[in-house]
Amino acid sequence: MTGYDAAAIDAHTGARNTVTYCHRHNLVRKDLANIDRRFGIRVTLPPNDTFSRLLGDEWENLHWYPSEEERDRAFDKMARRHGYYRTTDAPTQILEKIKR
């Protein structure tokens, strides 16, 4: 197995299979899994946003980071208009720095 592989047990046969992950960002690093993450970013939608018809009026997503510096870098990256938007797109997400 490589760093991108994991063992999985087939629910029907009980056989052990190797599952390959193609996106490294989907993997959890065990050495970082239990680090205290006190600095966060709350992502919400403005009132009456049309996307809330899909997600609901109370939708929010929280991202947590171990340091204020990491959180601030992520915040700046999330706040930038990325290249996947069409010219006519107007993203409306609200980003808020939070701390616990």
Cα 17 from chain centroid (whole Å):
27
pTM summary value = 0.67
Count of domains forming the chain: 1
Domain of residue 57 covers: 5-82+90-99
- Residue 61's DSSP bridge partners are 43
pLDDT digits (tens, 9 = 90+) for 40-95: 999 999 988 888 889 888 999 999 999 999 999 999 999 987 777 788 877 789 99
Which position has the higher pLDDT, 100 or 21? 100
Reference 67, options 99, 28, 29, 24; nearest CA is 99
Instruction: Name the band, by pLDDT with cuts 50, 70 and 90, for residue 15.
Output: confident
Q: What is the pLDDT of residue 42?
A: 97
